[in-house]
Chains A and B, each alone.
Chain A
């Protein structure tokens, strides 16, 4: 099935959580803000929030330094 991730179509397995997707993308979940269908997700939801077909996901990734 497909979702829209940062504006691009992406194929994922049914049942994929945000946490699993971030792992597949090689991103540290602690450094990412995730918005799914215009809702900002809490950090503790990442492992339980399952992406639906057609979900519009925005991932905002941070790098350290300041």
Chain B
């Protein structure tokens, strides 16, 4: 038996994806078998799970789900698709964290920012030039929908404060602190430690310029509370923020969020 686009189809010796496409999905020109792309003439084995896709057509939700399930390590996708992750600040860190988490099919993202896209953001942030002037929450929501429309995205269009953070993010599993200002970074960590006990947390400090890659590290401050960065390289006149190094930190952050979701990091209660 074969599983073709989630339907059971009898297996015959020597059958290949283009035979199946001719019968079941005319026009299909992308063939995925057990999570990996194959040639149209690849010989299939009994028990294979096949996806026949027409290029340019958005796969339905269950198809995306199966593709991510097959692509990721067993046991990962079930946890990731149930997860709710909060992202505070949608600049160089937050927009890249959100993109990485959307790509792996995170169940729900709660994205907060009050700002609009400016031309100076485009050197590192995940927006496009035709989005200048648009609210970052709206622009990022649209961009994520083009990556994976089945990730639920909720936006909070307000300037966050230490008082509001515990209210807004009380239902997330993990919180990513992606602010630009040092004062808000400190305020957010206090808010999480005092008002959001038991949640995973990944913040950032020290990501500016083009200093050594490997000085950016992920350190655990308290159980389940992590800080990424070199701890000292502040953004300042003469030392700006750029896509490569901010991107390194953002992906440290996203991977640490994933590790917490997968139970690889103990969270303090």
Instruction: Report if A31-B194 is in contact (Cβ < 8 Å); known contacts: A63-B231, A65-B180, A66-B179.
Output: no
A30 in the interface (beta carbon within 8 A): yes
Task: Tell me how far the C-beta of A59 lies from the nearest C-beta in chain B, rounded to whole angstroms.
Answer: 10
The 4 closest A-B pairs by CB, nearest first: A65-B235, A63-B234, A31-B182, A30-B183
**Which of B180, B183, B186 is close to A66, meaning CB atoms less than 8 Å apart?**
B180
* A1 CB contacts on chain B under 8 angstroms: none
* A60 CB contacts on chain B under 8 angstroms: 186, 189, 221, 227
Q: Judging by beta carbons under 8 Å apart, are A64 and B235 in contact?
A: yes
A37 in the interface (beta carbon within 8 A): no
| A61, B230: Cα distance in complex, Å | 12
**Which of A28, A33, A64, A65 is close to B190, meaning CB atoms less than 8 Å apart?**
A33
**Which of A28, A30, A40, A63 is close to B233, meaning CB atoms less than 8 Å apart?**
A63
Give the nearest-CB partner of B235 in chain A. Answer: A65
Q: Judging by beta carbons under 8 Å apart, are B246 and A33 in contact?
A: no
| A28, B94: Cα distance in complex, Å | 24
Give the nearest-CB partner of A32 in chain B. Answer: B186
* A35 CB contacts on chain B under 8 angstroms: 193
Residues from 4 to 60 in A contacting B, C-beta threshold 8 Å? 28, 30-33, 35, 40, 42-43, 60
Which residue, B183, B207, B236, has most C-beta atoms of chain A within 10 A? B183
Q: Judging by beta carbons under 8 Å apart, are A64 and B246 in contact?
A: no
Q: Judging by beta carbons under 8 Å apart, are A30 and B221 in contact?
A: no
Q: Judging by beta carbons under 8 Å apart, are B190 and A62 in contact?
A: no
Task: Tell me how far the C-beta of B241 lies from the nearest C-beta in chain A, rounded to whole angstroms.
Answer: 5
Q: Judging by beta carbons under 8 Å apart, are B190 and A30 in contact?
A: no
* B206 CB contacts on chain A under 8 angstroms: 63, 65
| A66, B185: Cα distance in complex, Å | 10
Task: Tell me how far the C-beta of A39 lies from the nearest C-beta in chain B, rounded to whole angstroms.
Answer: 9
* A42 CB contacts on chain B under 8 angstroms: 190, 194
B224 in the interface (beta carbon within 8 A): no
Q: Judging by beta carbons under 8 Å apart, are B178 and A65 in contact?
A: no
**Which of B178, B189, B229, B241 is close to A33, meaning CB atoms less than 8 Å apart?**
B189
| A40, B182: Cα distance in complex, Å | 18
Q: Judging by beta carbons under 8 Å apart, are B233 and A65 in contact?
A: yes
8 of the cross-chain contacts (CB-CB < 8 Å) are: A30-B183, A62-B189, A63-B208, A64-B181, A64-B236, A65-B180, A65-B233, A65-B246
